Amino acid sequence: MPAAEDDPFQDLLGARTLGQCGTEGVALHAALRHAVVGGKRFRPWLVGLTHDSCAGTRPEAVAAVGAGVELLHTAFVVHDDVIDGDRTRRGRPSVPEGFRVAALGRDVPDERAELYGLAGAVLTGDLALAAAVRAVATAPVPPAVTHRLLDLVDQALAVTAAGELADVRLATHPGHPTLADVLSMEERKTAVYSFALPMQLGAVLADAPDEVVHALGEVGRHLGLAFQLQDDLLGVFGDSASTGKSTVNDLREGKCTALITHARSTAGWLEIEPHWGAVDLDDARAALVRDALERCGSRGFVEDLVTDYVATATDAGAAVGLPAALLSDLAGLCTVPVRGAA
Amino acid sequence: MPAAEDDPFQDLLGARTLGQCGTEGVALHAALRHAVVGGKRFRPWLVGLTHDSCAGTRPEAVAAVGAGVELLHTAFVVHDDVIDGDRTRRGRPSVPEGFRVAALGRDVPDERAELYGLAGAVLTGDLALAAAVRAVATAPVPPAVTHRLLDLVDQALAVTAAGELADVRLATHPGHPTLADVLSMEERKTAVYSFALPMQLGAVLADAPDEVVHALGEVGRHLGLAFQLQDDLLGVFGDSASTGKSTVNDLREGKCTALITHARSTAGWLEIEPHWGAVDLDDARAALVRDALERCGSRGFVEDLVTDYVATATDAGAAVGLPAALLSDLAGLCTVPVRGAA
């Protein structure tokens, strides 16, 4: 993956116009930059990887569409932080938090500052979303290709919005979600726009036939789910030193992952329940939970799911003749080793 | 203006895709329809009026771009209701309120239902915004025209977002805004995307030269301000029977209009202040406030502002040779008679 750079996005962030829109315009532009900087540029990389694997010859369009999917991701992340009320993102203040703190600095009362944070982040996400659609719509390709690209973006937007809303419903609903609920939500909320969409856009830019684009949708959904499940495992069993990710936070926050949903269906849940979502969960109690998650078979179950999803993805790709090197690169994304033996 | 119809928007609302996205997809599509139906289609009408006045010959592109500006308006309205926490819009439940009530119907606790309402409305606005940009980007015009259209949309988005955030800042800030603050905010929040943008898009679709498009920006900003100020007057001095708009609500809610901001700078404010923003304000007390707003000169001041802005708009249009009939039609929008003599 290339190093993170934000220069390709400069033109897309409306610096010139926002700079002429007073204090708020300047604040919105700074928030957009803050939100775009520091991402791993994973989605643009997927666009390019797939385009190149399909023998595409449109590097300029790849850059434009890659910027579009990254901005789409930015918009989702910023609006997700509004919806979840998250105060941090990638170890830095989230966009709503940035606006909230700025208002507090102007002696705005707490509740009003919260509202200013919400407004600033809704609007920042809106600007990122509009820039994303524009970037895809104006990529230098023939009109028929533009329409194929935009249809894919539209579909991904609809699926992602429905998945995001399903996530809120599962979290707010009385009663516990089933494993099927959780997997379906994860697929729609993240896998489609983060994996299926960039790969399909890359293939369309390479003028790949419909059946290849369709197969890449399957590949992306399964890979995205595998990646998400692997991420859930890393959030509990990972090596913090190499992932930079706490292995206590998910448990302390009571994050409702597939791992937890499976455990809830086993006798081991009686051991786990007192600790899951405990705000004072410490390392020693987290270790007890990890041990219980292994003994009740939930860790193994989710590891097997990852393996199955990767295999399904690889088979779907091979069936339409996708290059073995591409499928191997993609599968590699989902096999980050976790700590200790299963 | 044409009768309100939502059929031209059917294809743009992602019915097919959203319908395949489970309960949440169906709910999001219903919310989009709810938000789009019932608008006056004022902005698409302005696109067509300006296009025709500039001797344009692209009716299909006018329809596409008109749908785009209406969807842009939908997105702003829905996100504005999120930011302001408004429970009603055009006399019906707002989009966040619709999602909130649906969650309450599923026995979700109050606070959680509020969150579901916020999430549903953020996502509905996102879908409207993406559809808006796509509609403009794919209007059947040559690429150079597409770029002119999208530049205008980008600029209007930036200005509107900054204006919306300025509105929140003025409302949340300690201390009272100045008249200049209020007018600048109104111009950016509403006048640009509701008046300047549709007129400029219509002119670009007619291949009008840059100086005409630029002048229409001036015309639109001034007309939009005049329209907003007229609307403020109607909200206090209007004839409810003909406008369908209460003449008590704005006063009861303590809406910080230019009318009120002016009154605050006069000796008459001592009479008005005890009633302004009083939740129990009745018709008799509202009549006292109206009387005071006339005696302190605020009504006359705002009426003069309307006249001035309309004159400035008309002059700017005439200077670049815009047809007198167009300017007269536009000026007519801002001269709805208010009740009684000034």
- In this predicted model, what pLDDT tens digit does every residue of A236-247 receive, in sequence order? 998 888 777 788
CA closest to A12 among chain B residues = B154
- More confident call, A16 vs B51: B51
Q: In the prediction, which pLDDT does A244 show? A: 75
pLDDT at site A342? 41
- For the cut 80, the answer to whether the pLDDT of residue B175 exceeds it is no
Mean pLDDT, to the nearest integer, of A58-81?
A: 96
Lowest model confidence (mean pLDDT) among A93-97, A330-334, B183-187: A330-334
B125 and A CB contact within 8 Å: yes
Q: pLDDT at position A5, please? A: 46
* Per-residue pLDDT band at A107 (split at 50, 70, 90): confident
pLDDT band at A6 (very low <50, low <70, confident <90, very high): very low
pLDDT of the residue at A88: 85
Per-residue confidence band for B342, with pLDDT thresholds at 50, 70 and 90: very low
What residue spans define the domains of chain B? 7-37+75-140
Residues in B closer than 8 angstroms to A169, CB to CB, are 23-24, 103, 116
pLDDT of B4 above 60: no
Q: Chain B partners of A157 at a C-beta cutoff of 8 Å?
A: 14, 126-127, 130
C-alpha dist (Å) from residue A287 to A280, A291, A294, B143: 14, 6, 11, 60
User: Which chain B residue shows the shortest CA-CA distance from A29?
Assistant: B158
CB-based contact A162 B24, cutoff 8 Å: yes
What ipTM does this complex have? 0.92
Is it the case that residue B144 has pLDDT exceeding 50?
Answer: yes
Q: Is B25 on the interface with A (CB under 8 A)?
A: yes
pLDDT average, residue stretch A281-307: 95
For chain A, give the percent of residues with pLDDT over 90.
Answer: 70
Give the nearest partner residue to A21 out of B107, B159, B168, using CB atoms.
Answer: B159
Is B2 a residue whose pLDDT tops 50? Answer: no
Q: What CATH architecture applies to the domain A209-342?
A: Orthogonal Bundle (1.10)
Q: Which residue has 């007018």 as its token pair?
A: B183
Strands A88-89 and A92-93: antiparallel
Q: How deeply is A4 buried, as exposed, middle or buried, from its count of CB atoms within 10 A (0-12, 13-18, 19+)?
A: exposed
Q: Is the CB of B92 inside 8 Å of chain A's CB atoms? A: no
Q: Would you state the pLDDT for residue A336?
A: 61
Q: pLDDT grade, residue B1 (50/70/90)?
A: very low
Model pLDDT, residue A256: 86
Whole-number pLDDT of residue A131: 96
The average confidence (pLDDT) of chain A is: 90
A22, A107, A132 member nearest B166 (Cβ): A22
The pLDDT of residue B284: 93
Length of chain B: 342
* Confidence at residue A58, expressed as pLDDT on a 0 to 100 scale: 98
pLDDT (average), residues B148-166: 96
Per-residue model confidence as pLDDT tens digits over A87-106: 888 788 999 999 999 999 99
List residues bridging with B93 in a β-sheet: B88
The verdict on A127 touching B (C-beta cutoff 8 Å) is yes
Question: Could you tell me which chain B residue has the CA closest to the CA of A78?
Answer: B122
Closest CA to A159 of A183, A191, A204: A191
Residues of B in contact with A105 (CB under 8 A): none
Residue-level pLDDT at A8:
60
pLDDT score for A341: 42
- What integer pLDDT is reported at residue A10 of this predicted model? 66
B82 reaches A (C-beta below 8 A) = yes
Taking only the tens place, the pLDDT of each residue in B268-281 is 999 999 999 898 99
For the range A277-285, what are the long-range contacts, defined as Cβ-Cβ under 8 Å and sequence gap of 24 or more?
Answer: A277/A251, A277/A252, A277/A253, A278/A252, A279/A252, A281/A248, A281/A251, A281/A252, A282/A248, A283/A248
Q: What is the mean predicted confidence (pLDDT) over A304-309?
A: 95
Q: Could you report the per-residue pLDDT of A126-175, keeping only the tens digit for each?
A: 999 999 999 999 999 999 999 999 999 999 999 999 999 999 998 877 67
**Is A10 part of the contact surface with chain B (CB cutoff 8 Å)?**
no
A1-208 and A209-342 have identical folds: yes
Hey, CA dihedral for B18, A130, A152, A198, is it positive or negative? negative
Contact residues, chain B, for A28 at CB < 8 Å? 158, 161-162, 165
**Contact call for B174 and A24, based on CB within 8 A:** no
Confidence of residue A194 (pLDDT cuts 50, 70, 90): very high
* pLDDT at B48 > cutoff 60: yes
Q: How far is B83 from chain A (nearest CA, A)?
A: 6
Q: What is the mean pLDDT of residues B194-221?
A: 96
In A147-206, the residues whose Cβ lies within 8 Å of chain B are 147, 150, 153-155, 157-159, 161-166, 168-169, 172-174, 184, 188
The pLDDT confidence band at residue B49, using thresholds 50, 70 and 90, is: very high
Residue of B167, B168, B186 to mutate when probing chain A, most A C-beta within 10 A: B168
Partner-chain residue, chosen from B107, B116, B130, that has the shortest CB–CB distance to A129: B130
Q: Which residue of A lies nearest to B104 if distances are taken between CA atoms?
A: A173
Residue with tokens 């929008």: B333
Output B236-245 pairs: Cβ under 8 A, ≥24 positions apart: B236/B289, B236/B290, B236/B293, B237/B290, B237/B299, B237/B338, B237/B339, B237/B340, B238/B336, B238/B338, B238/B339, B239/B337, B239/B338, B239/B339, B243/B336
CATH class as words, domain A1-208: mainly alpha
Residue A201: per-residue pLDDT: 98
User: Mean pLDDT of all residues in chain B?
Assistant: 90
Q: Tell me the percentage of chain A whose pLDDT exceeds 70.
A: 94
For the residues B226-235, what does the mean pLDDT come to?
92
Q: What share of chain A is helix, strand, coil (3-state, %, to 5)?
A: 75, 0, 25
- The whole-number pLDDT of residue A172 equals 73
pLDDT recorded at residue B10:
66
Give the mutation candidate from A16, A21, A114 for the B interface (greatest B CB count, under 10 A): A21
pLDDT for the residue numbered A292: 96
